[in-house]
Structure 1
Amino acid sequence: MITFDLNCSNGHQFEGWFASSADFDTQKSRGLLVCPTCQDGVIQKALSVPNVPRKGNQEAGSPASVAPAAAATNTDAPATEMPPAIVAELVQKLARAQSEMLDKSQWVGGNFAETARAIHYGEEPDRLIHGETSRDEAKALVEEGIDVAPLLFPVVPPSAKN
């Protein structure tokens, strides 16, 4: 069995289990895939990152790290499989890009939401920040018009580095 992360055109994310990649393609072409949330039939494979084991010094279930940024998803793009070597290269490029962004960014830890609001409302100098916050708090920031995006790869807080 293969598990794919899937998206509908309304932005809902869910998981689908298939006997093979060809089975996914067959079900999609026959219109058998629908979003369990809204019943939308426009389904695409989501970009997924290989399962990398957690380092021993990282806690399971820690809050998501987020950084200010604009993000967009193209749900009209055709779902295609890429060879593993290309996927690995893309993941490495994304990791390098995140690392370069973090080098130019300030760690604010658990004060991410408060600091992002202070920057947005001009109470603190404009700068790139990264830190930790809950999904609900990140959603509230977006609803306030404050641009945030989850980091694609885990970040070790400066205080926890060896």
Structure 2
Amino acid sequence: MIRYALKCSEGHVFESWFQSASAFDVLEKAGHLSCAVCGVSDVKKSLMAPQVVADKDKDKAPEPLAAEPADQADPIAEMRRAVEENATYVGGKFAQKARDMHEGSAPEESIYGEANAQEARALIEDGVPVVPLPFKPKQKLQ
């Protein structure tokens, strides 16, 4: 996993995790990145300094990430609402259903669900347009 600092064309700066540097490149080329604050799709990597721990600080626990400002929490809640209203939750069948739609053996529709890291990596490597959501689904299928 790799964490990138990102910046949108509107000037919002945020961070996101990606499976690998190449996974970021695939998502960027496919136009599947969007700002976590305003939702615009013009998102680029921003300058980011690596976290370096000095030898004297090795035994100290890392500081927790700062709490997200309240004005940045609302876009994620809005994204959740939009996804849940406009897409079908397919649970653990997400990887197979996404692949079937990509290959043309199933009709295209908006879906969301769950995939393990290996399944997600395979989808990205095969060019299937997927993007991780910044929240966990509320509902679960049996």
**TM-score, length of structure 2 as denominator length:** 0.55
Q: Cα distance, 1:99 vs. partner?
A: 1.6
Q: Identity of paired residues, percent?
A: 28
- The match for 1:6 is none
Q: 1:105 aligns with which of 87, 91, 108?
A: 87
Distance 1:110 1:159 in 2: 8
- The match for 1:47 is 15
Runs of 4+ in structure 1 over 6 Å off:
none
Distance 1:143 1:119 in 2: 16
Does residue 74 of structure 2 align to residue 74 of structure 1? Answer: no
- The match for 1:127 is 109
Distance 1:159 1:120 in 2: 23
**Aligned Cα root-mean-square deviation (Å):** 3.3
Q: Which runs of 5+ in 1 are unaligned?
A: 1-10, 15-44, 49-68
Closer, same or farther: CA 136–154 of 1 in aligned 2, 3 Å: same
* Structure (1 or 2) with the larger CA radius of gyration: 1
Bigger helix share: 2
**TM-score, length of structure 1 as denominator length:** 0.49
Q: Cα distance, 1:89 vs. partner?
A: 1.5
- Give matches, 1:1-162, under 5 Å: 12-13=2-3, 47=15, 70-71=32-33, 74-76=44-46, 87-159=69-141
Report if the CA contact (8 A) 2:90-2:141 is conserved: no
Q: Cα distance, 1:148 vs. partner?
A: 1.0
